[in-house]
Amino acid sequence: MIAFNSLTALAAPLPEADIDTDVILPARFLLLLDKAGLGRHLFHERRFDKDGGMRAEFILNRPPFDGAQILVAGANFGCGSSREQAVWALADFGIRCLVAPSFGEIFFANCFKNGVLPIRLDEPVHGEVMAAAVEASTLTVDLEAQALVVPGKEPIGFSVDPRRRRALLLGLDEIGAILADDLPDIEAFEARRRASMPWLLPSEAAQAVLAGSDEE
């Protein structure tokens, strides 16, 4: 997973509430199993017409917003089904940070698993960020400092769960985060299990453990 430390990038405005994961990535594209390439199907029904032509009115089809790495959305972004592929599509398109008043709960968790930072902001602060995005502003997101900087304004603080923040800063997926934080406890548990329940081990290993116990 790509680490996230700080990001200075153009923000695109999507001032609409309750955009669900089927809008972000329609269900028919769930048959595609690779993360790479899913970005071309992001917001497919909104980006393309029935003949496959690009809809000029959609924000992510219009320069300079077609190169945005930050998306400022309305409340409850990512509601609906739990498909992780919706986040895959956003990340593959190049979106590294999402800003909204609220997110679908499972979608919010999936963002952290895939190197995308979701930031929740209350009104009226969210409105200020949305206004800046409408003006095609470049924003700076500093995860280390937990601050979002809008040009000409004081930094806006945001909160992130410490464990999730650390995983993003280090570029750790779920397994990597567990190994980084809990490996000594896992190894201690496995040692106790081998000693107390040797019959669960492969036969040769179990015999060696039992032999060692007899010698003691």
Q: Are 68 and 9 a contacting pair, CB within 8 Å? A: yes
If you average pLDDT over residues 56-70, what whole number do you get? 96
**Considering the chain, what is the average pLDDT of its residues?**
91
State the pLDDT at residue 54.
94
**Omega into 26 within 30° of 0, i.e. cis?**
no
pLDDT digits (tens, 9 = 90+) for 87-128: 999 999 999 999 999 999 999 999 999 999 999 999 999 999
At a CB cut-off of 8 Å and minimum separation 6, what does 136 contact?
10, 64, 65
Distance between CA atoms of 164 and 119, rounded to whole angstroms? Answer: 12
Percent of the chain with pLDDT over 70: 93
Q: Tell me how far apart the terminal alpha carbons of the chain are, to the nearest angstrom.
A: 47
State the pLDDT at residue 198.
79
Residue 156 scores a pLDDT above 90: yes
Domain boundary assignment for the chain: 6-172, 175-215
State the pLDDT at residue 204.
62
Radius of gyration of the chain (CA): 23
Residue 148 scores a pLDDT above 90: yes
Pseudo-torsion of CA 50, 51, 53, 59, nearest 10°? 0
State the pLDDT at residue 134.
97
Q: Please state, as a whole number, how many other Cβ atoms lie within 10 Å of the Cβ of residue 188.
A: 10
pLDDT digits (tens, 9 = 90+) for 167-185: 999 998 877 777 777 778 8
Q: For 6-172, which CATH class?
A: alpha beta
